A and B are shown apart, each in its own frame.
Chain A
Amino acid sequence: MFDAARLFVTVGWYSYKALFIWLTPIGYVMSKVAVPLLQITVFALLARSLGLEPGQRVIGNAVQSAALNGVFGTMMALHGERNFHTLAFLIASPANRLVTFGGRILAHVVDGMIVVLLGLTFGVIVFGLDLSHANRVGTPLAFAVTVTAISGLGLLLGSAALVTRDILLLGNVAYWTLVALCGVNLPVDQLPEPLRMVAQVLPLTRGLQAVRLLLAGGSLAQAAPLLAGELLVGAAYYAAAYVAFQAIERVAARRATLELD
């Protein structure tokens, strides 16, 4: 158990360091800071121009922008292994797959939480967001649960990154589906029924509700069912990712498709 935990952390750190794709500080700032803040601004102003309250959109987009790490970060980590031709060494190692691939998400979860905090700070300064009643214990927990659940989706999509080059498409579909359907910019019940059903099986939907509840001063007990639901959804994605990795590894080994250029 201890060895697995150590492997989890070690792999996570080295993977993050080795495949850190932002080559310059300005690139990092633009991708991790500017893009989320611009996204928040666009939708907050859209709401305001329609006579709607921007604050909830600020919260929604701030939390959702953690998907930059959770989805893209995780996917790119795996895709990067393929690009650098290090995948073979990884697959050929005896290390537990769930631990080695799961370890990768740890750094992205932490990174993602920082992005959420930055977004909310921006919301306070620019849009006058009032967070004075926020539940100080429950809110960070809700961030962590939500970002972790989103990373499960990223891990599942990352398994596809082992065999396909069109990962930009996958990542964009996941990212923008979360923006549209998970209550980020409009209440889920305002969506047509088919889209509402999709929202129920996505990470972020329940987690975001919990975050809003806790930021408005709600108790952890009130948010607990939502967080439990979010954890369950996240766990389902992790399980699916594990099964997908095993299956893809077997198929790829048979068809020699693992290191396709």
Chain B
Amino acid sequence: MASWLRAGLWATRAQLRQATVSAGTFAGVAIAPLSILIIGAFMLPGSPAGMARGVFGSTLVGMWSTVFLAASLDISRERTQETLPLIISAPVPTAVVLIGKILGNALVSFAAVAVVFTVAVLAGLFPLVVDAPLLVSGLVLFAVSSATVGLLVSVAYVVTRAATGLGNALEMGVWVLCGLLYPVSILPGPVEALARALPMTWSARVVYAAVQGAEDGERVGTPVALSLALAAATTLAAILLYRLAERRWRAAAEPHD
């Protein structure tokens, strides 16, 4: 077990290095949240709700976009750089490596938190926070949730070509669906149902609960538990899909000398 833990931590470390892109590329990803920060803060001047949406909505957008950048092409990259054989042939269960990658990507997403919070504080736009520990918990939950979905996307990309075509639409789809900038209750019924099946939706609720108080008077434990449960389910789905992919690779592969 200790051996697995160490292997997992090494996978996290390797992932952090792999995912740490150039400053230029990261800045390219950070610019959208900063734009949303401006929009949210000045769309309804003097409105606490607007300020909260601007600051925390843009933070969540930035975290998800950072994870998407780091995670979505991860398995494809392991394939093209031919490091996948190392992972497949290792005696350590693949699930350990995949969970390590999730943690690495979750950590990377905090770069977006740092950027948005710094700009918001310097510009005097940071709203009062009702519950700081809850905010931190919510951000951590969101980071982990995003990373689990990012990994699932990454595996889906190598399993089916159709997934690759989704690209940026997948990234922005989360902005629309997961209540990053507005409560999901304003979405049409079937769309809202889909939103509630994603772990990020619930962790975003935790973040806003820390800033504005819980939605509809719900107990904050509910979105926390749902976020964790759905993140675990997404991780399991990613692992199972990966094993299916691995089995296919080992059975089919391409002709070699």
Contact = CB atoms under 8 A, between A and B. Distances in A.
Asked if A and B form a direct contact in the complex, defined as CB atoms under 8 angstroms apart, the reply is yes
A46 B28 contact: no
A185 B182 contact: no
B130 interface: no
7 contacts: A39-B172, A50-B47, A176-B34, A176-B35, A180-B34, A186-B39, A186-B42
B25 to A, nearest CB: 6
B182 A45 contact: yes
Contact of A52 (B43, B173, B175, B186): B43
Nearest to B37: A180
A50 B44 contact: yes
Contact of A180 (B38, B164, B172): B38
Contact of A38 (B47, B164, B175): B175
B165 A169 contact: no
Contacts of A31: 167-169
B169 A35 contact: yes
Determine the main DSSP class of B at the interface with A.
Answer: helix
A67 to B, nearest CB: 12
Interface residues of A, number: 39
Interface in B10-64: 22, 24-25, 27-29, 31-32, 34-36, 38-40, 42-45, 47, 49-50, 53, 57
Contacts of B32: 172, 176
Interface string A28-42: 011100110011011
B194 to A, nearest CB: 14
B168 A30 contact: yes
Interface in A160-196: 165-166, 168-169, 171-173, 176-177, 179-181, 185-186, 190-192, 195
A185 B43 contact: yes
Most interface-central of A31, A46, A186, A191 (chain B CB within 10 A): A46
B230 interface: no
A118 to B, nearest CB: 14
A192 B32 CA distance: 19
A210 B31 CA distance: 27
Contacts of A50: 43-44, 47, 49-50, 53
Nearest to A23: B165
B44 A168 contact: no
B39 A180 contact: yes
Given A27-B164, A52-B44, A186-B39, 12 more contacts: A31-B169, A39-B172, A42-B181, A49-B53, A50-B49, A51-B44, A166-B22, A169-B28, A172-B32, A173-B31, A176-B31, A180-B35
